[in-house]
Amino acid sequence: MNIPYTVEARPDTGLSNGKLGIWLFLASEVMLFGALFSTYIILRTGSTTWPHGELSVWLGMANTFILIGSSVTMVMAWASLKLNDWGKHRLYLILTFVLAGIFLVNKYFEYADHFARGETPAHNTFLAIYYTLTGLHGLHILGGMIVMAYLIGPGAGLWKRNPGQFTNRIEFTGLYWHFVDLVWIFLFPVLYLL
């Protein structure tokens, strides 16, 4: 049995199933991260002192550059498919995966450095919310990488069988990835700069 509207748009919404589905999922993700940002506001306004300068701004900036670059390569992976250029699509998607991996490696070294100095989540309130926010964000990066690995690997066969559906899957993955980048765009100044 074929699931309808995986490629063509529904006549009532004008959207394919996956497009509406991913936007509804992202709406739930906004509430998830919004709750944590709200927690940050409560914790910070309720504290008499708040640490400053505990995080490496340059490493945070480098990670911001990496994620922005990965957003560009992700949208280019989709655009290449729309232009029927399979080779460029593969290049851009693999590049996005690699950039995501570099982000996580940087995060690992950053966490390891903090832990080596005894700066664990229990050390103070700032570090508790820092690890919570960036840890959850890091898990989202990992989730995105798993999806990308599937679309680079076994999932790539769908391009030959149903190119429209495969292009849509790349678009939906891109929407998720841009959201993850968007969260970091707010996380970086809030945690590293303010």
Q: Which residues of the shown chain bind another protein in the complex (CB under 8 A)?
A: 13-15, 19-20, 23-24, 27, 30-31, 34-35, 37-38, 41-42, 45-46, 57, 61, 64-65, 68-69, 71-72, 74-76, 79, 82-84, 174-175, 178-179, 181-182, 185-186, 188-190, 193-194
Tokens at 174, concatenated = 């891109």
Q: How far is the CB of 67 from another protein (least distance, A)?
A: 10
The residue (of 71 and 119) whose beta carbon lies closer to another protein is 71
CA dihedral 139, 144, 90, 98 (to 10 degrees): -10
The residue (of 69 and 138) whose beta carbon lies closer to another protein is 69
Q: How far is the CB of 95 from another protein (least distance, A)?
A: 13
Q: How far is the CB of 124 from another protein (least distance, A)?
A: 19
CA dihedral 121, 192, 139, 127 (to 10 degrees): 10
The residue (of 21 and 157) whose beta carbon lies closer to another protein is 21
State the CB neighbour count (10 A cutoff) for residue 49. 8
Q: How far is the CB of 94 from another protein (least distance, A)?
A: 18
- Helix (H), strand (E) at residue 95: helix 86-116
Alpha-carbon distances, residue 50 vs 114, 127, 138, 187 (angstroms):
17, 10, 24, 16
